[in-house]
A and B are shown apart, each in its own frame.
Chain A
């Protein structure tokens, strides 16, 4: 092979760049490429990545999320643009079959040979399949890749389908019985996944307790109780002797245990550990460790100076590390070395914090108290399902490790103190809510973000040396908090402290008129019980130096005040001084288009409309010459309505029973629905009925930005509810509610807030979620970014709306009840009020004269605005600006003309 001339795919003639080849396309490979491209600013290196899987590197740690998101792309790591970089080449579905170290080439599975200057092994590991007879039966799975997870899902769904029997009393489903061999991290993830798929789950653990590597026996017992509460059974100290097939199907059917016990099963997941994929390294003659893995030194280099190994395949300090954080650190070390640096692997941080089926588990340092003479301080509350332990040096001053089960709150602040002296009584740190524990000042070297190996000093430096002034800036600068996000609260605290020390004021100012943020202004207005802009700016406005008043606001703060006043229930949005605060859309109760005309959207709750209603809409559009289009929110938009036509159009629509659709407002837009159980063969709940109910409840609700909801009648999710701010998906027990979804420029899938709610609980939950958002979000902040910013994130919101952690739920409920009570159709109210109607004239001195500049051309049987060129050429049709012979609703101001 080495006699062949090495060929590469991107080498241009005269390309002097050096070439690094990465074998493996997992998380650590992604980190390597990302770090190389961000640090190699001269472009000295080009990098080729050979991935065996057919996808871009994805978040393997988040694999269980695949059951929720069902979209492999959601798990993609980092900025996808990384792979478009001309110096980066990703070969997917392209396993490397051989390494020739002498020729410095690799051969891929297609037989192509690629030369390298440096080679990085990042092949990761395989799920280790324990040598149990029957481990290859149909229905036995491992849990490692998206394909594994997809196969498991397909199997369980097929079993559920097969077990579904129609009886006279309805459909009865035979439970799918699942078992997971291995009670470690991966096993518990897999058990949670089985539950999420609707299967039963039993975890079979050989050792004395769950997560034996990370936590001690006491923690394991607490964890078992909590896991049991989630409906997952646990059999500890149990060895599986054999997995047996079902007599008839030949599929997996039964597990036999060494103690003589048995368990009938329909699916088995093997999660007993991983084995480094070092076969290429072995074949290339590189040294491997006792338990596998390519042996490397502290610079991650193998005995061959041009071959490196990072991540799970690297055997460093005599062992392979199955965690992503040390793998990322190794990637950074190799990048540094390639660029001429001196970095060495600082030792593995094996701290772990995770949420398993909603249970917090964390451990760090010497969790098992193996240090000589160490002492343990334990707080256990079996009733609350909480176990917390600190391992201290023999004088009980230096922190050596810790275990947290059920309440990991102290973890974030304590973990970085590993090896440092704790101030005061260490027991205070374990008491609920801190119990008066002294505030911790983290040492600079303390690690804050273990995923990206960022120290407290680096976070502080981002503020003091690099001039970052907010958390987003610090995250971008240091990458702290950008992987798992667990450290964001800590980063935020550090950044705020540092900014305050530096005398930098953290500005959330709305604009030059208000130093407050929208949320602060909301509270201020609510607290001070103010109802007009004049009062609000007089009270809370910023008075610039050398002037005596705060001015009269602007296009930023006025709509914010308008929205706040509307959310607090101040009557019609065009009443009194409020009229002058509204953006043009709200002021005209219609959506302005590019030519200055408006579009009109009547509300069609849940997307439901009668044939009679459709005829009215069609007739109105026809009579007024409007362009019609179906919106994404399941209703009809009519374009090209002139200001002076709006009242005439709405008189007809209101007469036919339509209401404002608030398409113009930062407010509830629509509640999209699928047809649900009333018609659909698969629907399990009446999604249209619920959507109509929700839309009628929240119609007219003003908010920091637009709000869209969706309701799906079954898990097929035809309403695309998870792309909405609030998505409701029917289950056979009730409703699951998801929040923070977003289409638009930054699409986001909504995340699960609560499961299996009945109608009343669903509505109460959404009421509170929406009101909490309205009160605390920033100006024009959709729910998705709000969830990133709001205190505690999704968990924090869950605590507020489900557990009333802030004690504000009664208030939120009352606010929503007041909204529902006070609702009136804005258009109906305008039509009944001559003073408001008077504003809908085209010209104050010619209220029914159309704007003479409007020009349209026909297109596909309708009209569209003429382009500037068409206008200049006179190529438009004047008949497309119709003046409708309709009762004049506009009582324009008249003026005696003097002779």
Chain B
């Protein structure tokens, strides 16, 4: 129930040096093509809100939860889909479309991001090990 301490996924092979891995939830807790938010603490001790999306093929993507165009923490509540085959999420407030793998904004819907924010989303590596979703924060 509480925020988990940064722990590397012990039994998973793809432990990459660098990011600080956090076990977030069981894969089963994610509904395909819907997002959830998670609170993750990075190596600098900063708490970050992350949006996690499970696709129909079982892969999981993580991007920042902050919608840079609305200034609200809502990205997990967007609609998941594809644009020319690339998995995407649409911001629920003003419908910008972002590539899930990179966080790149594909359609800005005629809007500018809030002052001081990038128009693209930060994306984070995800590893599913033993049915548990891990997010890596730098």
Which residues in A have some Cβ–Cβ distance to B below 8 Å?
512-513, 544, 547, 551-555, 557-559, 577, 579-581, 583-584, 587-588, 592, 594-596, 838-839, 841-849, 851-853, 868, 892-895, 897-898
Contact = CB atoms under 8 A, between A and B. Distances in A.
Contacts of A848: 1
Contacts of B87: 552
Contacts of A851: 49, 73
Residue of A544, A580, A843 with most chain B CB atoms under a 10 A cut-off: A843
B71 A555 contact: no
14 contacts: A551-B81, A552-B55, A554-B79, A554-B81, A555-B90, A555-B97, A577-B32, A580-B33, A843-B36, A844-B37, A844-B38, A852-B49, A893-B29, A898-B7
B3 A845 contact: yes
B34 to A, nearest CB: 5
Contact of B92 (A584, A843, A849, A868): A584
Contacts of B25: 844-845, 893, 895
Given A544-B85, A555-B95, A895-B25, A580 B5 contact: no
Contacts of B37: 842-844
Interface in B112-130: 114-115
B52 A844 contact: yes
A587 B77 CA distance: 8
Residue of A838, A893, A894 with most chain B CB atoms under a 10 A cut-off: A893
Interface residues of B, number: 54
A761 B57 CA distance: 52
B52 A594 contact: no
Given A554-B97, A844-B36, A895 B83 contact: no
B84 A583 contact: no
A555 B39 contact: no
B82 A554 contact: yes
A853 B73 contact: yes
Contacts of B67: 596
B39 A843 contact: yes
A554 B79 CA distance: 7
Contacts of A581: 79
A846 B2 contact: yes
B80 A580 contact: yes
Interface of B: 1-5, 7, 10, 23-26, 28-34, 36-40, 47, 49, 52, 55-56, 66-67, 70-74, 77-85, 87-88, 90, 92-93, 95, 97, 114-115, 132
Contacts of B81: 513, 551-555, 557-558
A559 B7 CA distance: 39
Residue of A558, A587, A845, A892 with most chain B CB atoms under a 10 A cut-off: A845
Contacts of B82: 513, 551-554
Nearest to A534: B56
A666 to B, nearest CB: 14
Contacts, number: 136
A898 B10 contact: yes
A892 B4 CA distance: 14
Contacts of A868: 71, 114-115
Contact of A846 (B30, B39, B115): B39
B32 A580 contact: yes
The 9 A-B pairs with the shortest beta carbon distances in the complex, nearest first, are: A555-B90, A551-B82, A554-B81, A596-B72, A893-B29, A580-B33, A584-B92, A844-B36, A555-B79
B83 A592 contact: no
Nearest to B77: A584
B127 to A, nearest CB: 14
B38 A845 contact: yes
Given A583-B92, A843-B39, A852-B47, 17 more contacts: A512-B83, A552-B87, A554-B83, A555-B90, A555-B97, A557-B81, A559-B79, A577-B32, A594-B93, A844-B36, A844-B52, A845-B39, A846-B3, A847-B1, A853-B72, A893-B29, A897-B23
Contacts of A838: 29
A643 to B, nearest CB: 8
Contacts of A842: 37
A380 to B, nearest CB: 59
Nearest to A588: B77
A845 to B, nearest CB: 5
A838 B115 CA distance: 35
A595 B52 CA distance: 20
B24 to A, nearest CB: 5
B24 A845 contact: yes
Contacts of A853: 49, 66, 72-73
A898 B132 CA distance: 11
Contacts of A845: 2-4, 24-25, 38-40
A897 B5 contact: yes
Nearest to A557: B81
A552 B56 contact: yes
Contacts of A512: 83-84
B26 A893 contact: yes
Contacts of B34: 579-580, 587, 839
A855 B1 CA distance: 24
Nearest to A554: B81
Contacts of B78: 555, 584
B85 A895 contact: no
B72 A595 contact: yes
B65 to A, nearest CB: 9
A841 B36 CA distance: 9
A843 B38 contact: yes
Nearest to A597: B72
A557 B79 CA distance: 10
A551 B80 CA distance: 11
Contacts of B72: 594-596, 853
A532 B76 CA distance: 22
B107 to A, nearest CB: 10
Nearest to B89: A555
Contacts of A583: 79, 92
A843 B51 CA distance: 9
Nearest to B3: A846
A851 to B, nearest CB: 5
A554 B93 CA distance: 15
B68 to A, nearest CB: 13
B114 to A, nearest CB: 7
Contacts of B7: 897-898
Contacts of B31: 579-580, 839
Residue of A554, A579, A841 with most chain B CB atoms under a 10 A cut-off: A554
A555 B95 CA distance: 8
Nearest to A582: B79
A103 B103 CA distance: 73
A402 to B, nearest CB: 51
A470 to B, nearest CB: 22
Nearest to A853: B73
A552 B33 contact: yes
Contacts of B32: 577, 580
A553 B82 CA distance: 6
A807 B44 CA distance: 69
A580 B89 CA distance: 12
Given A551-B82, A868-B71, A893-B25, A592 B33 contact: no
Contacts of A551: 81-85
B70 to A, nearest CB: 7
Contacts of A596: 67, 70, 72-74, 77
A799 B2 CA distance: 63
A894 B26 CA distance: 8
A505 to B, nearest CB: 20
B132 to A, nearest CB: 7
Contacts of A557: 81
Nearest to B32: A580
A20 B32 CA distance: 68
A892 B29 CA distance: 9
A582 to B, nearest CB: 8
Contacts of B132: 895
B29 A844 contact: yes
Contacts of B23: 895, 897-898
Residue of B36, B88, B93 with most chain A CB atoms under a 10 A cut-off: B36
